[in-house]
Amino acid sequence: MSVFLSSLGFGLISAAVLAIATVGFTMQFAVTNVLNLAYGSVMINSAFVTYFLNYHLHLNAWVAMIGGVLTGAFASYLLNRFVFTPFQRRNLPPITIVIVALGVDLVGTFGLQAIVGGSYFSYKQSLGRELHFWGMYLSTLQLIIIGICVVVMGLIHWLLKYTRLGKAMRATSANASLARNSGIRTQRVISSTWLISGALCGLAGTVFAMNTGVFEATSAQLYIVLLLAAMFLGGPGSAYGAMLGALTIGVATEVSAGYFNPEYKEVIAFVVLLGMLTFRPYGLFGSEKTI
């Protein structure tokens, strides 16, 4: 039982980071039908901008995080505007866009490595007091991250359900042509979606780096596997599915790590992903694309 509870704690924190990342990733897929495999490289670049502001400009890590968030937003916006959109205009098959995204990922990740080198970094930040409750061990920092996740998920829910922009996003995702006929400037909506999802990406990169403690340029390279597993579990393009998928994958990987060899904890994500792709490629609940 105690193994279960303590690993559940780890599960919640990885689920929190994963949820922020997956929601951004899935929103990009929803409005533009792009599997943006360069997402991990934008995450880690944002984390490094936070690092720069934190370490070299001596800003508090939480303040510096704003820089990371903005980096993610603008990098994602530019990526869509100047790479994915031009390629999509040529009516290429989705696989070509995926290959382009992989190319961008290499440029982003290793461009960063060329600048910062291969060493490890960490933020100037205290983990805070270790808290022990209900059999879980979490640091204050981790609790804050979980808190951020809850707030962000609430904001996304509010955005999608109650704001004009959010509804326009969902409408664009469901039927872009009809959205235009309703007077929605879908290009702007798509740009806004990439800005917002990019901000989530930057945030996810920063809290990912905070949570791992030490990180390097290539740290987020394999994170895309967890992202994909969480997204396909909840149904590609669905924000709520992404939240649920992230919670499941995050908790399942850590709990399995608690009971088996932690080295293999990602295996469960792998099995989930392949199973979903084989049997339910549009998610456990969905058959339609929807934010």
Partner 1 sequence: MSVELSTSGKVLRATSVSAGYDGRAIVHEIDVEATPGKVVSVVGPNGSGKSTLLKSLVGVVPVLAGAVTVGDTDITNLAPERIAMLGVGYVPQIDDVFPPLSVKENLEIGGYLLPRHDVASQIEAVLKFFPRLKTMMSRKAGKLSGGERKMLAMGRVLMLSPSVLVLDEPTANLAPLVATQLLEEYIRGFADHGSTVLLVEQRAKAALRISDWTCVLSGGRVVLSGAPRDLENNPLFVESFLGGGAARA
Partner 2 sequence: MSAILFYLATIIVYGAVDSMACLALNVQFGFAGLSNFGFIIFQAGGAYVAAVLSMGPWQKSNQGFQQYVLGWHLAWPLPWIGAALFGGLLAIPFVFLVGKRLRGDFAAVGLLVSAVLLNQLVNNFVPLFNGAAGISIVPAPFTHYLNPQGLGYQFAYGGVAVVLTVLVYFLLRRVTESPYGRSLRAMRDNDIVADALGKNVRVQRTSMLILGGMIAGLSGAILVGFINLWAPGAWGYAETIVLFAAIIVGGAGNHKGAILGALLVPLGFEEVTRFLPPLSNPELVPALEWVAIGLLIIGFLWFRPDGILPERRRILSGAGKSSVPSPIPTSGESDSLINLGNLDQMDFRQLLRLEGDASDHGIILSTDRLTRAFHGVTVVSEVSIEIQRGRLTGLIGPNGAGKSTTLAMLAGTLAPTSGKVLYEGRDITSMPSNERAKSGMIRTFQLASEFKKLTVLENLVSAIPRQSGDSFVGALRGRRFWGRDDAENIERASEMLEGFGLSEYADSYAGGLSGGQRRLVEIMRALLAQPTILLLDEPMAGVHPNLAHKIGDQLTRLVASGMTIVMVEHELAIMDAFCDPVIVLAEGWVLAQGTMAELRAKKEVVEAYLVG
Structural element, H or E, at residue 139: strand 136-139
Shortest Cβ 265–partner 2 spacing (Å):
10
Task: Tell me phi and psi for residue 218, to 5 degrees.
Answer: -100, 10
Q: What phi and psi, each to the nearest 5 degrees, are found at residue 139?
A: -85, 165
Count of Cβ atoms closer than 10 Å to residue 194 Cβ: 29
Helices 2-32 and 239-259 cross at an angle (nearest 10°) of 150
The single residue among 63, 178, 214, 222 that binds partner 2, judged by CB under 8 A, is 222
Among 170, 206, 223, 245, binds partner 1 (CB under 8 A): 170
C-alpha neighbours within 13 Å on the C-beta side of residue 261:
3
Give the interface segment with partner 2, choosing from 70-78, 102-110, 194-202, 242-250 (CB under 8 A). Answer: 102-110
- Contact between 253 and 266 (Cβ < 8 Å): yes
Residue 264 found at the interface with partner 2 (CB under 8 A): yes
DSSP-derived secondary structure letter, 290: -
Of the candidate spans 31-39, 93-101, 162-170, 203-211, the one that interacts with partner 1 by CB under 8 A turns out to be 162-170
Q: Which positions ≥6 away from 104 have C-beta within 8 Å?
A: 38, 41, 79, 83
CA distance 48 to 45: 5
| Contact status, residue 30 vs residue 192, Cβ threshold 8 Å | no
**Choice from 55, 98, 122, 167 touching partner 1 (CB under 8 A):** 167
Closer CB to partner 1, residue 124 or residue 188? 188
Binding mask 181-200 for partner 1 (x = CB under 8 A): xxxxxx--------------
Amino acid code (one letter) for 91: N
- Could you say whether residue 290 binds partner 1 (CB under 8 A)? yes
Question: Which of 73, 176, 228, 243 contacts partner 2 by CB under 8 A?
Answer: 228
Q: Does 94 bind partner 2 (CB under 8 A)?
A: yes
List contacts with partner 2 (CB under 8 A).
35, 37, 83, 86-87, 93-100, 102-111, 113-114, 117-118, 217, 222, 225, 228-229, 261, 263-264, 266-267, 269-270, 273-274, 277-278, 281, 287
List contacts with partner 1 (CB under 8 A).
164, 167-168, 170-171, 174-175, 177-186, 288, 290-291
